[in-house]
């Protein structure tokens, strides 16, 4: 369980997914843990991934803190809604829909998106929120603009809802919202997603904790493994090319999509 959690933390840190996408199948399929308890442990591990990776990314100047804190409003509200509905809606149907969207998202993530020109005038909302920033590259700091804020905010609410329902950090949707919709550079998207997923998971885990689905003896080895993996991932991310990160991201979420569809059809969720 510890070794599997290290791999989950590594993938979560590199791709911005949060590690929960690996933890839930690992606990349910390999260790035969009840899915409700697996979701509880997964949400706690997502907090650990965010804590381990976010500090390093913030220190190195990749994460957009202002944008992350603004979008956390949507993800937190969505996580509270998703966690409260988790026992009332058929999880199998949600898992199938979630998996289908992830497979489509895997293809979209491989498409090249032209960055917004720095000469393009920002809209009224973009000017008001001041979310534009810069991130480090081998050639120095590179500026970027944040666009389509309402659409990105709406997708973040959906990502938070899925996080509360299925026990993942929903980093896939966060990264896609920032990369494909808001036109934020991919490395900034993944690192800002890591910054955000801990807050999203914390909002949902309170509901599971109150219902008794968070077991310390199960959560502790998962947390330790995910935290170790996320710290390794932070050291690898700065050396990897964006193209390879996109490919890894697409492979992971496509595999997750297939797993979610199979789990939904077979009734495992």
CB atoms within 10 A of CB 65: 12
- What per-residue confidence (pLDDT) applies to 121? 58
Question: What is the value of pTM for the model shown?
Answer: 0.72
CB atoms within 10 A of CB 140: 7
Smallest CA-to-CA distance from 170 within 245, 83, 108, 267 is with 83
- What per-residue confidence (pLDDT) applies to 74? 92
Which pair of structure tokens corresponds to residue 124?
């009224």
Asked if 6 contacts 222 with a C-beta cutoff of 8 angstroms, the reply is no
pLDDT digits (tens, 9 = 90+) for 100-157: 877 876 776 666 555 544 445 566 777 788 888 888 887 888 888 888 889 889 989 9
3-class SS letters over 206-226 = HHHHHCCCCCHHHHHHHHHHH
pLDDT digits (tens, 9 = 90+) for 207-230: 788 888 889 899 999 989 888 887
Greater confidence (73 vs 200) lies with 73
Which residue carries 């599997």 as its tokens? Answer: 4
- What per-residue confidence (pLDDT) applies to 117? 46
Percentage of residues of the chain with pLDDT beyond 70: 81
Coil, strand or helix: which one is 120? coil
| CA–CA distance, 173 with 169 (Å, rounded to integer) | 9
Coil, strand or helix: which one is 119? coil
Asked if 183 contacts 147 with a C-beta cutoff of 8 angstroms, the reply is yes
- What per-residue confidence (pLDDT) applies to 154? 92
pLDDT digits (tens, 9 = 90+) for 18-68: 666 778 778 877 888 887 788 888 888 878 777 766 777 788 888 898 999
Mean pLDDT of the chain: 79
Greater confidence (91 vs 236) lies with 236
Angle at 172 between CA 249 and CA 98, to 5 degrees: 115
Overall average pLDDT of the 172-185 stretch: 82
| CA–CA distance, 252 with 68 (Å, rounded to integer) | 23
CB atoms within 10 A of CB 212: 10
């Amino acid at each position: 369980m510890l070794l599997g959690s290290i791999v989950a933390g590594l993938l979560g840190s590199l791709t911005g997914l949060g590690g929960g996408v690996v933890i839930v199948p690992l606990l349910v399929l390999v260790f035969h843990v009840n899915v409700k308890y697996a979701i509880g442990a997964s949400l706690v591990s997502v907090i650990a991934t965010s804590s381990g990776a976010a500090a390093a990314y913030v220190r190195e100047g990749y994460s957009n803190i202002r944008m992350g804190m603004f979008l956390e409003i949507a993800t937190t509200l969505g996580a509270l809604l998703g966690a409260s509905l988790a026992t009332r809606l058929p999880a199998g149907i949600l898992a199938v829909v979630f998996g289908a969207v992830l497979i489509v998202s895997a293809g979209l993530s491989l498409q090249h998106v032209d960055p917004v020109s720095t000469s393009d005038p920002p809209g009224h909302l973009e000017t008001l929120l001041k979310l534009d920033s810069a991130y480090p590259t081998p050639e120095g700091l590179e500026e970027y603009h944040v666009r389509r804020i309402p659409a990105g905010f709406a997708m973040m609410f959906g990502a938070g809802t899925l996080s509360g329902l299925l026990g993942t950090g929903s980093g896939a949707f966060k990264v896609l919202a920032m990369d494909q919709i808001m036109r934020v550079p991919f490395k900034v998207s993944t690192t800002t997603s890591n910054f955000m997923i801990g807050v999203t998971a914390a909002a949902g885990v309170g509901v599971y904790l109150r219902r008794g689905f968070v077991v310390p003896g199960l959560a502790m080895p998962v947390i330790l493994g995910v935290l170790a993996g996320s710290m390794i991932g932070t050291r690898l991310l700065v050396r990897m090319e964006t193209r390879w990160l996109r490919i890894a991201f697409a492979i992971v979420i496509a595999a997750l999509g297939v797993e979610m569809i199979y789990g939904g059809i077979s009734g495992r969720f």
